[in-house]
Chain A
Amino acid sequence: MPTVTMRVNGKTVSGEVEARTLLVQFLREHLRLTGTHVGCDTSQCGACVVHVDGNSAKSCTMLAVQAIDADITTIEGLADGETLHPMQEAFRNNHGLQCGFCTPGMVMSAVDLVNKNPTASETEIREWLEGNICRCTGYHNIVKSIQEAAENVGG
């Protein structure tokens, strides 16, 4: 069985996996980082979004072996101890989540957007969320959350 080594949330981790093991399975089942969710089997919902070398990616549509030597950030890697990341704080302030199932992926996707485009317009935010499906909120409060986080980060 292949051995994989990668950095996850700043720590070097390794494990033995089958070649077919998805990155999301490695994160959830081997590393017990269950914040990253699986909401579909068609690569469409975005509940599994993590950052791979600084870019958001669907961890259900990547093999663990493809992430060898990569730098991975999951939802667990955002907060600084007890202090939430500004994006998490903004989702809390703006009621940007209801059941919370889509939230890890939404937050990871949103952080990638704000990193790349801190002045994203409402339209750009909505277009960016094309790959993240939410069955609860109707998206308006998610968009508000991202706008607020972008303002806070941008100062």
Chain B
Amino acid sequence: MHDFNYHKTSNIEEAVKVHMGAEDGTYMAGGQTLLPTLKQRLAAPTDIIDIAGVTELNTITVSDDVSLGSMATHASVANSSEVSSAIPALATLAAGIGDPQVRNRGTIGGSVANNDPAADYPAACLALNATITTNRRKIVADDFFTGMFETALEENELITSVSFPKPDKAAYMKFPNPASRYAIVGVFVALFGTDVRVAVTGAGDNGVFRPTEIENSLSSSFTASALDDTTISPDDLLSDIHAQSDYRASLIITMAKRAVAAAS
């Protein structure tokens, strides 16, 4: 790992200001993605701005929607009884990220900002139509995830919270890589009244996406059997040592059916 200047910050304004003054700065939340990346020398920022001490980012608030401060750890979301009763699928998703030690430190803000094509939270954001709030503006999930490891965030922009509207029914099903637990395919389904939203992670060669074929089939009937004749083209799907694109295409339908069957 290359060396860098380290800054501990304690409020949002301070964090943004230090970032703006840095030559090539990067925020650090839980460090569970950033530190492995630095260890492999895939990045070499001049300055690290640690936001773990910004306590206003730790809050979890459940009212009309579920609002998670960007520093909410995966463990705190998984263990929140309020989140579990408002959107059980969200707590289940958080409980299935990586391992207990990663969940103790990793945060939703870091996961969403990183937009790893195999990460879990981006699927929840897209399917639940979440709003990502930053120090500058609000961005809806449909506009936020712009490609593999790419988001609408601008230089220095800091995610402060992510809020999820409560669906009538939702579930997340993941087929994990047995070593890392990242998704080979993960499907999040959500029903809002008669509106169906579905998001797929782990499979798209441009990151998380909404499969219109599946959304259309489920809009006519929100049942697993409604997907019996639905297929997904493998053309824009990832092919790697873990799974070929046609296998991923088939897994998407299987995971979507399981998610619909489990939705509550």
Contacts and interface: CB of A to CB of B under 8 A. Distances in A.
Interface of A: 2, 18-20, 22, 41-44, 46, 49, 52, 55-58, 61-63, 65-66, 68, 109, 112-113, 128, 130-132
A128 B95 CA distance: 11
A61 B36 contact: yes
Contacts of B35: 22, 43, 61-63
Interface stretch (B2-10, B115-123, B235-243): B2-10
B17 interface: no
A66 B53 CA distance: 10
A130 B32 contact: no
B52 A131 contact: no
Given A43-B35, A43-B36, 19 more contacts: A18-B3, A20-B1, A20-B38, A22-B35, A43-B102, A44-B180, A49-B101, A56-B100, A57-B104, A61-B105, A66-B50, A109-B100, A112-B100, A128-B100, A130-B98, A130-B100, A131-B99, A131-B100, A132-B99
B31 A62 contact: yes
Contacts of A46: 99, 101
Contacts of B1: 20
Contact of A109 (B36, B38, B101, B181): B101
Interface in B83-104: 98-102, 104
Q: Interface residues of B toward A: which range?
A: 20 to 34
Interface string B21-46: 00000000001100110111000000
Contacts of A57: 101, 104-105
A42 B6 contact: no
A56 B101 contact: yes
A68 B10 CA distance: 14
A22 B45 CA distance: 16
Contacts of B8: 65, 68
8 contacts: A19-B3, A43-B102, A44-B179, A49-B101, A61-B32, A61-B36, A63-B6, A131-B100
Interface of B: 1-6, 8, 31-32, 35-36, 38-40, 48, 50, 52, 75, 98-102, 104-105, 179-181
A19 B32 contact: no
A131 B101 contact: yes
B39 A131 contact: no
Given A128-B100, A130-B100, A19 B4 contact: yes
A89 to B, nearest CB: 23
A128 B103 CA distance: 11
A65 B101 contact: no
Contacts of A131: 98-102
A130 B99 contact: yes
A59 B113 CA distance: 23
B40 to A, nearest CB: 8
Contacts of A58: 101-102
Q: 7 tightest A-B contacts by CB?
A: A131-B99, A130-B99, A19-B6, A55-B104, A20-B1, A20-B3, A131-B101
A132 B36 CA distance: 17
B183 to A, nearest CB: 15
B27 to A, nearest CB: 13
Contacts of B52: 66
A56 B100 CA distance: 8
Contacts of B31: 61-63, 66
